[in-house]
Amino acid sequence: MSSSILVFGASGQLGQCLAHVAAERNMTGRLVMLAEEQANILNPEGLRAAFAQYQPQYCINCAAYTAVDKAEDEVDIARRVNRDGVENLARLCAEFGTTLLHVSTDFVFAGAGNQPLLETDETVPISAYGLTKLEGEQVIAAHTDKYFILRTSWLYSEFAGNFVKTMLRFGRERAEMRVIWDQAGTPTYAIDLAAVLLHIIETESPNYGLYHYSNEGVTSWYDFAVAIFELAGLLTRVVPIRTAEYPTRATRPAYSVLDKTKAKNQLGISIPHWRLSLQECMRRLAG
């Protein structure tokens, strides 16, 4: 087997972050970055050709259907990507002896509690997106033993579209923003998540399984927006509102803070606070 790492969904936010971190770590030569048009996870024949060509030691799946509200009306499409496509990868990983690294979500939880969520806590998705992502986790566990699933939350970076970049754009256009304050969670800098994925590979960790990963700390979308505007030097007024005042097609977890104890202990990682990572992202965005 070669030491190559197949990356699917390479053109998305996390894929771009992986390419960036790999360049910093001199790992670019190991990564085979495959965008959707090059290797679609819904095309088993194309996937098999890629596995046969590269004989990868690792496979990182960054491909996902992530349009949370749209998924309520496109459940079948979301399921094809988030479950069926993932199953295609899991089967091939098992066949080729490849270790699969896959990213899941805090949306697998109902979010009705007020304690940080463990990997062993009951999963009760309350949205089509959350349900299809949970089904993706289940098909991985059903088809291969060599996997790392990392559930994450509130992902952002200097790449692609995300909450931070949206707030910066609106903050320059508007004098006031209304932002939800009664949903609690933790932002995750996708650069940090990419670094953890590559750390698992670099250390050849044998501790397969399901993990939680976000940055440290707890906040609301309101406080997150305030921090973004403060760091950007924007004077935009932020008005806290309840979830009920901003209805969306999909229901979001009210509390989805992830407990990272297992990841810190089993993977040997340290996790920066969300404010520190936000500062780093803002520094990079500023040029």
Identify the active-site residue in 54, 58, 65, 129. Answer: 129
Asked whether residue 1 carries a pLDDT value surpassing 90, the answer given is no
Mean pLDDT for the stretch of residues 188-207: 98
- State pTM to two decimals: 0.97
The two most distant CA atoms of the chain are separated, in Å, by: 57
Asked if residue 275 lies in contact with residue 227, where contact means CB atoms within 8 angstroms, the answer is yes
* Residue percentage of the chain with pLDDT more than 70: 99
The answer to whether residue 129 is catalytic is yes
Per-residue model confidence (pLDDT) at position 76: 97
Per-residue pLDDT reduced to its tens digit, 71-98: 999 999 999 999 999 999 999 999 999 9
Query: What domains are defined for the chain?
Result: 5-157+186-216+256-272 (3.40.50.720)
User: pLDDT-based confidence at 40, cuts 50/70/90?
Assistant: very high
Average pLDDT over residues 170-180: 96
